[in-house]
Amino acid sequence: MNTALQPYPWHRAAWDSLVELSRVGRLPHALMLLGPGETGKQHLALSFAQRLFCSVPGEHSACGQCRGCQLFTAGSHPDFLLLEPEEAGKVIKVDDIRAAGEFAGKTASQGGWRVLVLSPAEGMNVSAANAFLKTLEEPGERVLIVLISHQGGAVLPTIRSRCRIMTLSEPPLGLARDWLAARASQGAEVERALQQAGGRPLRALRFLDGELRAQLERFEAALEALEAGAASALESARAVQDIPGRELVDWLQRRVYEHLRAPALVGSPRARPFFRFLDRLVAVRQRITGTANPNAQLLWEEVLMDWKAVLDFDLRHRAQERRA
Ligand SMILES: [Zn+2]
């Protein structure tokens, strides 16, 4: 069975330059793949790692059949480590970072490369990042560290500055559409999914798979009920509290931006409460990615109450403007 990972078509240029760097022996010790989430950066890193372990690598992928390829696919290659948070959206544990440092310090058991993929780089808090610095500064021979980052700004500059940064933007719409259409049964839904996902193909695929869409629809219904005064913040929070917090933050942000695009709000003091609410969402994101597990029902009840207050305040403000 051929188990070769194929890089996504929109990563072809990045793939070619990685292959070229490895061909001429100029791979950096540390590489940061920087770009929007759910566009396949980690897949690119894994595909390239597999190629490094492959004994007969091709131009476009690993062979998928040799011992290195098979160990890699089985998840048992001794020279490969993928480091992620235990739970999606949470921070990476400092203990895991230390273990990764030990991994990177050893020599390869198969006589070739050792590859450490850490995803996402912003999943390291300050103490984890400091623990990781030493690994970045003194990597062993033939060690490649790949950091995946969806938000470069959230990564400590001391980490960033020690990596060769490769920026990967959203794929061209045509490529994303073709790739998605080949995987989706509902052709007509492809456009809507891509639009919902902001052009990020893997997210669009999750949307088409149904679960994400069902959650989004539930979120929209809860918000509309709240905004119309048909449901309390408590009731709306109860309806959405099981949805991953990072999705709720994203969707709420989009909702705020939709309001801010209204011509009457552009450049108006009326926009201020909306911006303050965006700041609040940034703080909420930090809280839910932190090590503590806030009570989701309470957290979202508070946030939704604030959101309703922003809208009510704006409504009163508009009414006053009309009277004036
Ligand atoms: Zn192979």
Total domains in the fold of the chain:
3
Pair (43, 96) in one structural domain: yes
Q: Which of 169, 194, 224 lies at the terminal end of a domain, its last residue?
A: 169
Q: Give the separation between CA 222 and CA 236, rounded to whole angstroms.
A: 5
Contact 190, 208 (CB under 8 A): yes
On whether both 192 and 57 belong to a single domain, the answer is no
What residues contact residue 164 under an 8 Å CB cut-off, 6+ apart? 28, 30, 31, 32
Residue 200 lies in a domain: yes
Within a 13 Å sphere around the CA of 317, how many CA atoms are in the beta-carbon half? 14
Q: Separation of 67 CA from ligand 1 center, angstroms?
A: 7
165 close to 138: Cβ distance less than 8 angstroms: no
Q: What separation in Å is there between the alpha carbon of 311 and the centre of ligand 1?
A: 58
Contacts of 45 (CB under 8 A, 6+ apart): 33, 117, 119, 146, 148
Predicted pLDDT of residue 321: 80
Considering the domain architecture, whether residues 113 and 145 belong to the same structural domain is answered as yes
Mutual orientation of helices 126-137 and 94-105 as an angle, nearest 10°? 0
CA angle 266, 315, 317 (to 5 degrees): 70
Task: Dump pLDDT digits (tens) for 156-166.
Answer: 899 999 999 99
Tell how far the Cα of 58 is from the centroid of ligand 1, in angstroms: 9
Chain-centroid distance of CA 266 in Å reads 30
Dist CA 127 CA 97 (whole Å) = 10
**Domain edge (last residue) among 148, 169, 190:** 169
Question: pTM score, two decimals?
Answer: 0.85
User: Are residues 127 and 188 located together in one domain of the fold?
Assistant: no
User: Cα of 247 to ligand 1 centre, how many Å?
Assistant: 38
Does any domain span residue 2?
no
In a domain, 174, yes or no: no
Per residue, what are the HEC states of the chain? CCCCCCCCHHHHHHHHHHHHHHHCCCCCCEEEEECCCCCCHHHHHHHHHHHHHCCCCCCCCCCCCCHHHHHHHCCCCCCEEEECCCCCCCCCCHHHHHHHHHHHHCCCCCCCCEEEEECCHHHCCHHHHHHHHHHHHCCCCCEEEEEEECCHHHCCHHHHCCCEEEECCCCCHHHHHHHHHCCCCCCCHHHHHHHHCCCCHHHHHHHHCCHHHHHHHHHHHHHHHHHCCCCCHHHHHHHHCCCCHHHHHHHHHHHHHHHHCCCCCCCCHHHHHHHHHHHHHHHHHHHHHCCCCCCHHHHHHHHHHHHHHHHHHHHHHHHHHHHC
Q: Write down the pLDDT at residue 149.
A: 95
pLDDT at residue 186, rounded to an integer: 63
Q: Is 324 domain-assigned?
A: no
* Residues 132, 246 within the same domain: no
The pLDDT value recorded for residue 188 is: 65
List the pLDDT tens digit at each of the 324 positions of the chain: 678 999 999 999 999 999 999 999 999 999 999 999 999 999 999 999 999 999 999 999 999 999 999 999 999 999 999 999 988 878 898 999 999 999 988 877 767 899 999 999 999 988 999 999 989 988 788 999 999 999 888 888 999 999 999 999 999 999 999 999 988 776 668 888 998 888 999 999 988 888 888 999 999 999 999 999 999 999 999 999 999 998 999 999 999 999 999 988 888 889 999 999 999 999 998 888 776 778 999 999 999 999 999 999 999 988 888 887
Are 30 and 119 part of one and the same domain?
yes
* Per-residue pLDDT, 27: 94
Looking at residue 14, which CATH number applies to its domain? 3.40.50.300
- pLDDT at position 158, please? 92
Structural domain for 154, as ranges = 9-169
C-alpha 50 – ligand 1 centre gap (Å): 7
User: How many angstroms is it from 265 CA to the middle of ligand 1?
Assistant: 57
Distance from the alpha carbon of residue 3 to the mean position of ligand 1, in angstroms: 9
The answer on 75 and 100 residing in a single domain is yes
**CA dist 116 → 5, 105, 140 (Å):** 17, 11, 12
Distance between CA atoms of residues 183 and 307, nearest Å: 37
> How far apart are the CA of 70 and the centre of ligand 1, in A?
7
Q: Is residue 3 part of a domain?
A: no
- What's the pLDDT at 2? 79
